[in-house]
Structure 1
Amino acid sequence: MMMQEQIREEAGGAMLFDASLASGVDNDWFDPGYWRARDALEVQGGGRGGVAMIDTPAGACVLRHYHRGGLVARFNRDRYLWTGAAHTRSFAEFRLLAHIAALELPAPQPVAARLRRHGLFYTGDLITRRIDGAHTLAQCLADGRLDADLARETGALVARFHREGIWHADLNAHNVLVTSEALYLIDFDRGALRTPAEAWRLANLARLRRSLVKLGAAERIPDFQAANWGPLVYGYERTMGA
C-alpha cells in the first residue's frame, strides 16, 4: 500500500502520519499512559530513554520519545532548538523512513510523528511498526550466534543502504535487528541522504566495527578479524559491486 502522508496542525504543535495506516491518530497515541490504561503497553530499555511497545489500531508499534544524550542531557533532557517543522528530529526521521520504505529496504515502517512547540524549542515523538521476533546483533554476539554467515549478511545489509546514499548516524550492533527471515536497520534519527562517497561509507563501517569491539567481539570470538569482520566486509563489498 502506498503511503498517504498527511499533516495535522494543532495548537502547540503538529502531527505527521501515514493516513493509510493511522487515519485516526491523535495525541493519545503518543502518551504511554493511554496505552497502559488499555493494557496495550510494554516498556523496554535501550537507547537514551527506552521505547514503548504499543498495540495500536495500525498494529503492533514502537513509540519513541526523542531524548538528548551526552553532557547536555544533564540540563536539557528532551528539548531541541526550533528551526522549522521539516527540520525536527521526528519529522525528518519519519520522512527518511518513508523514503527507505519506497526503496523496499528493510527498516521500520513509519506510522506517525509528532512535534510539540515550547517557545524557541520543541519536543518530538515517533511511532513505527514493530519488527516481531527480532534480536539485535549485539544480542547475537552475546549469545554466541554471530558467525561468518551472519557477518556476511550484516555487511550486505549495510551495503544495500549505502548504495542508495542512505547514511546511518549511529550504525552500531544495537541498531541491526536479526529475525529468522531477514535483517533490518533501525533508529534513523539524524540519518540522511548523502551523495555517494567512499569516505562516509568507510566511516560508517568503522563505527559498526568499534561497536562490536566495545561489546567484546575480539574477546568472545577467536580471531575476530578473520572469522567475522573479514566476512562482513566481504558481504559488504560484494553487494556494493553487484
Structure 2
Amino acid sequence: MAMQERIREGAAGAILCDAAVSSQVGDDWFDPAVWRARDALRQQGGGRGGVAVIDTPAGECVLRHYRRGGMVARLMGDRYLWTGADRTRCFAEFRLLVAVAALGLPGPVAVACRYRRHGLFYTADLITRRIPGAWTLAECLGYGRLDGELAGRVGMLVARFHRAGIWHADLNAHNVLVTPEQLYLIDFDRGRRRAPADGWRRSNLRRLRRSLLKLGAAAQGEAVFEAQLWQPLLERYERTLHA
C-alpha cells in the first residue's frame, strides 16, 4: 500500500509526514534536546547534517538537520532561500524517498519532515527510519572489508537506481550502507528523478570513484584498484542496468 502523506501547517512553517504517524509527530520531534531529555537520543554525530539517532514512538529513527557545506556555509549556515513549500529541500527529499520505496528500491523510509520560515529564508529537518546493523561503504573500505564481491554488489545497487531514473546528487562511499541482507543508498538531498541518459549516470559513477580513491581504495596502486574493485563494480553495474 502506498504511503499517505499529511501536511500540518503552522504559523512558522509546516510538517509533512506519513499519515500513519501524523497524530504523534509535532515540532518536538525535530529537537534533539527533547529526545535527550527523554533519554531517547541514542547517538548524535557532527558533520554537515547534524545527524541524531532517536528512539521514537514509531521506532528508531534518524533525525537530520539540513545544513549547507562548502564556502556558502559561512554565509548561510543552515538557511535556504524560500521559494515555496513544495521546493523546500525537506519536502523534495521526503517525496523522493516515498517514490524510491514505491519502486521497491532500498533507501531510507521517510517518516516526517519540517520546514520553518525565517523571513526570506527557511530551515529544515528530516526524519527517516534507521537502517539497523549497517556499515557505510567507507567503513568497509577502512576495515579492509571491501573486495570484488562487495564492489559488484555496489555496482548492482547503483544500477537499480539508475535504471529507475533515480539520480543521487552526492553518490559517495559514505552514502552507501551495507548490511548482511542488502545494500542501501541514503541521503537523497537534492536528488531527483531524471529521464534515462548515459551522461548523468556516468557522472554519478565518476563521483563514486573519486570518493573511493580519496578514501584510499588505491593504496596498493591504481592498477590493483581497477582490477580488483572498479572493474567488478562496473561489470555488475552494466549487467544490472541492461538486464
**Pair in the same fold by TM > 0.5:** yes
Counterpart of 2:180?
Answer: 180
Once the two structures are superposed, the pairs formed by residues 145-164 of structure 1 within 5 Å of their partners are: 145-164=145-164
Aligned equivalents of 2:22, 2:8: Cα separation in 1: 12
Q: What secondary structure is seen at the aligned counterpart in 1 of 2:208? A: helix
Q: Deviations over 1:83-135 (max 9, x none)?
A: 00000000000000000011110000000010000001000000000000000
Structure 2 match to 1:91 = 91
CA distance in 2: counterparts of 1:234 and 1:216, whole angstroms: 22
- Compute the displacement of 1:47 (Å): 4.1
Distance 1:34 1:46 in 2: 18
Q: Distance in 1 between matches of 2:188 and 2:41?
A: 23
Mark the runs of 5 or more structure 1 residues left unpaired by the alignment: none
Paired amino acid for 2:40: A
Residues 44 and 234 (structure 1), Cα distance of their counterparts in 2 relative to 1, 3 Å cut = farther
SS of aligned partner of 2:219: helix
How many residue pairs match? The answer is 242
For normalisation by structure 2, the TM-score amounts to 0.97
Q: CA-atom RMSD, angstroms?
A: 1.2
Contact persistence 1:43–1:50 (CA under 8 A):
no
4+ runs of 1 displaced by more than 6 Å?
none
Task: Report the alpha carbon displacement of residue 75 of structure 1 after superposing the two structures with TM.
Answer: 2.3
Which residue does 1:30 correspond to in 2?
30
**TM-score, normalised to structure 1's length?**
0.97
Secondary structure of the residue aligned to 1:219 is coil
Instruction: Report the residue type matching 2:236 in the other structure.
Output: G
Match of 1:240 in 2: 241
Unaligned segments of structure 2, at least 5 residues: none
Alignment of 1:126-205 (within 5 A): 126-205=126-205
What is the DSSP-based 3-state SS (H/G/I as helix, E as strand, rest coil) of the residue aligned with 1:177? strand
Whether the 8 Å CA contact 1:22–1:57 is kept in 2: the answer is no
Which of 20-29 and 136-145 deviates more? 20-29
Identity %: 70
